[in-house]
Amino acid sequence: MTLLERDPKAAPAWRGELPVTSRYTFGLAGERFFRAIQEEGRILGTRCDGCARTYVPGTIFCERCLGELDKWVDVGKVGEVHTYTLLYEAPDGSQRETPEIVAFVRLGDGGLVHRLGEVEPEALAIGMSVQAVFKPIAEREGSILDIVYFRPI
Amino acid sequence: MSMRKVAVVGAGMTKFVRRAQETAKELSWQAAHMALESCEMTMDDIEAVCLGTAPDSFDGIHMNGEYLSDGAGAWRKPFMRSYVGGGTGVFVPIQGWYHVASGLFDVVLVVAEEKMSSYYPHAQAAFLTIFDHTTERPLKPNLLWIFALEMNRYMSTYGIRKEDIALVSVQHKRNAADHPCALLGDPNITVEDVLNSETLAWPVQRYDVSPVSDGAVALVLAAEHVTKRVTDKPVWIEGVGWNLDTAHWTNRDLAYPRYVEYAARQAYEMAGIKEPRKEIHIAEPYDPFDYKALHHLEGLQLADRGQAAQLYVDGVAARDGDMPVCPSGGLLGVGNPIAAAGLMKIAELFWQLRGEAGERQVPGQPKRGLAQAWGDLMQVGTVVIMGR
Ligand SMILES: [Zn+2]
């Protein structure tokens, strides 16, 4: 046994209950992308014609040519399950009876990582079409969680 | 390009363990000290120091490179820490290589360290802030999501069976049983053991994953004229390459690591390699997960797309096969102290090519090997080719 094995008096990074958090801005593109989700229930991307790519979520620049992107396009609410996983281990390390389902849903040339709902694990398939289910407009706050999940159509 | 030849002339490695009593800088010193002793050099011979550690948050010490610098031998020397996430262990020797190849220095000490056990309750929490703060973090993602999503896409794109992927874990852990520094060597592990282990995020199960560990590895690199003086068994760095894909991990081709292909092509061109499958005798692809070894072998052009598992099924990848893969035991078997694990692969090639790998020695006097790592936001490939 060494001196420090989970020593309760080990030097803490801070004392007591001092809350440590970060206040991130959504950015110029994020402001537009999340306002469209909150106010219009729409998913927007940006288009680089030169590189023939539609970035989802939209960005203000193309990572390939570094050109400025100002052409916003509605990519619809329906995407394709590109891949998925069944989360059997909960964040606290315990095992779940029923796994949470997380997928990467392709929209345009990008997409969103999100939960899948209204579907059983056995019915999942890569390539299936899924649609974003939004919270009622009054409950939306400009967050990726304004989309509750994607469900098969 | 007019670049000088650079050889690895010495190597040292600590045991990889779950929780080392040694501090991070003590581990760095142990590896550095062993590397110097192995080639009978002293700090008077060392002109510069390159250090690799992965995220500061693992060791739980901000500015970790500077903190470790004394253990790595950096006192009053030109010093630089490099950091490309999991790719660091195969990038830091590249950094050492261009320090020498450029003509700036004749002898460089390269050290890679990671002490992951400081993080409590699990080092994985150090990764929570790698995700995009607006589009991803509200979903409370963890690192396993990325690998599970990628593994599923890889399996379903090519129709690869889980039991074939499990062969990778079995072979690497069995190989590691012959490594004196290994954490998870197991000569008796079977495919059933892997398939019956706890499911974390399907298709990822417990034994598909390498263990978090503490450890350090160090090398001494030297220019040709010094090399001739200190050893009659030099192992030359013949090619290096590194490449970065998009920062949006979801926008990558999840079934095929193009960033590894580009890094490999850069290294093959430098080494004058036209037919890698014939000219590479030992491969040490990065294997933090069993499917990643396969993914990387394909990116490295050492297997056709979706066909790497066949190398294991057919025995080609075995230690006595036509192209041994991870004879060290890899990250899955030796352990995964991030940066140190990558540099362990370079040290393995050094020992294998000199015929000094003991129980792990690949038969047939191999002449050339390749090591590769992967990291950053899961989008960097780093490759080193060594030969004698
Ligand atoms: Zn563009």
- Name the phi and psi angles at A61, rounded to 5: -145, 155
For B17-77, the DSSP string reads: BSS-SS-HHHHHHHHHHHHHHHTT--TTT--EEEEE---HHHHT-TTHHHHTTTTTT-TTS
Chain A interface includes B18 (CB < 8 A):
no
Q: Ligand 1: distance of its center to the CA of B296 in Å?
A: 28
Rounded alpha-carbon distances, angstroms, from residue B147 to B131, B151, B153: 14, 6, 10
| pLDDT over 90 percentage in chain B | 87
Number of separate domains in chain B: 1
In a domain, B316, yes or no: yes
The neighbourhood of ligand 1, an ion, using CB within 5 A, equals A 48, 50-51, 62, 64-65, 67
Multiple choice CATH, A27-152, 2.40.50.140, 3.40.50.300, 3.40.50.1970, 3.40.920.10: 2.40.50.140
pTM: 0.94
pLDDT at A7: 59
Both tokens of A143, joined, read: 């967050």
Rounded to whole angstroms, how far apart are CA atoms B85 and B289?
16
Element housing A132 (H / E): strand A129-134
* C-beta neighbour count of A62 within 10 angstroms: 18
Q: Write out the E strands in B79-228.
A: 79-82, 107-115, 199-202, 204-205, 214-223
In a domain, B365, yes or no: yes
Q: Do B254 and A144 touch (CB under 8 A)?
A: no
The answer to whether B50 and B92 have CB atoms below 8 angstroms apart is yes
In B230-249, the residues whose Cβ lies within 8 Å of chain A are: 246-248
Pick from B21, B204, B251: CB nearest A110: B251
For residue B127, pLDDT beyond 80: no
pLDDT at A65: 96
Query: What are the beta bridge partners of residue B369?
Result: B282, B386
Q: Which residues of A are less than 8 Å from B142 in CB distance?
A: 91
* SS3 state at B169: helix
Query: What are the beta bridge partners of residue B35?
Result: none
In a domain, B176, yes or no: no
pLDDT at A15: 61
Look-up of token digits 């072998």? B297
In a domain, B37, yes or no: yes
Local confidence band at B305 (pLDDT 50, 70, 90 cut-offs): very high
Q: Ligand 1: distance of its center to the CA of B380 in Å?
A: 21
The answer to whether B294 and B203 have CB atoms below 8 angstroms apart is no
Q: Ligand 1: distance of its center to the CA of A111 in Å?
A: 17
- Fill in the amino acid letter for B121: P
Chain A interface includes B133 (CB < 8 A):
yes
pLDDT at B118: 82
Query: What are the beta bridge partners of residue B220?
Result: B10, B109
Rounded to whole angstroms, how far apart are CA atoms A86 and A98?
9
Bridge-based pairing state of the strands B214-223 and B6-13: antiparallel
How distant is the alpha carbon of residue B218 from its chain centre?
13
For residue B7, pLDDT beyond 90: yes
Q: Collect all residues from A whose CB is shorter than 8 A from any CB in B.
A: 2, 6, 22, 24, 26-27, 30, 34, 57, 63, 82-89, 91, 93, 95, 99, 102-104, 109-115, 126, 143-145
Closest CA to B13 of B366, B269, B349, B285: B349
In a domain, B139, yes or no: no
Rounded to whole angstroms, how far apart are CA atoms B282 and B372?
12
The answer to whether B132 and B38 have CB atoms below 8 angstroms apart is no
Q: Do B201 and A63 touch (CB under 8 A)?
A: no
Q: What is the pLDDT along chain A (153 residues), one digit of tens a residue?
A: 556 555 566 666 666 676 667 788 999 999 999 999 999 999 999 999 999 999 999 999 999 999 999 999 999 999 999 999 999 988 777 888 899 999 999 999 999 999 999 999 999 999 999 999 999 999 999 999 999 999 999
* SS3 state at A9: coil
Q: Which residues of B are less than 8 Å from A24 in CB distance?
A: 133-134
Higher pLDDT, B244 or B248: B244
Rounded to whole angstroms, how far apart are CA atoms B200 and B202?
6
Q: Which of B97-101, B145-149, B171-175, B228-232 has the lowest mean pLDDT?
A: B145-149
Name which of B115, B120, B149 to mutate to probe chain A: the one with the most chain A Cβ atoms within 10 A of its Cβ: B149
Look-up of token digits 């820490």? B81
Domain boundaries, chain A: 27-152
In a domain, B379, yes or no: yes
Both tokens of B277, joined, read: 């499958």
- Fill in the amino acid letter for B281: H
In a domain, B142, yes or no: no
Q: Do A85 and B145 touch (CB under 8 A)?
A: yes
Distance from the B263 Cα atom to the nearest Cα atom in chain A, whole angstroms? 18
For residue B224, pLDDT beyond 70: yes
Q: Ligand 1: distance of its center to the CA of A61 in Å?
A: 8
- Name the phi and psi angles at A77, rounded to 5: -105, 0
The angle that helices B143-158 and B162-176 make with each other, rounded to 10 degrees, is 120
Q: Do B251 and A144 touch (CB under 8 A)?
A: no
Q: Which residues of A are less than 8 Å from B121 in CB distance?
A: 93
Residue B20's domain spans which residues? 6-120+211-387
Give tens-digit pLDDT for B57-90. Answer: 777 788 989 999 999 999 999 999 999 999 999 9
Q: Do B150 and A95 touch (CB under 8 A)?
A: no
pLDDT at B119: 77
What is the pLDDT averaged over residues B264-278? 98
Higher pLDDT, A91 or B271: B271
What is the pLDDT averaged over residues B105-129? 85
In a domain, B126, yes or no: no
What is the pLDDT averaged over residues B40-56? 95
Q: Write out the E strands in chain B.
A: 6-13, 48-52, 79-82, 107-115, 199-202, 204-205, 214-223, 235-244, 282-284, 368-375, 380-387
- Fill in the amino acid letter for B332: L
Pick from A93, A99, A145: CB nearest B202: A99
Domain harbouring B316, CATH code: 3.40.47.10
pLDDT at A8: 61
Q: Do A102 and B145 touch (CB under 8 A)?
A: yes
* SS3 state at B111: strand
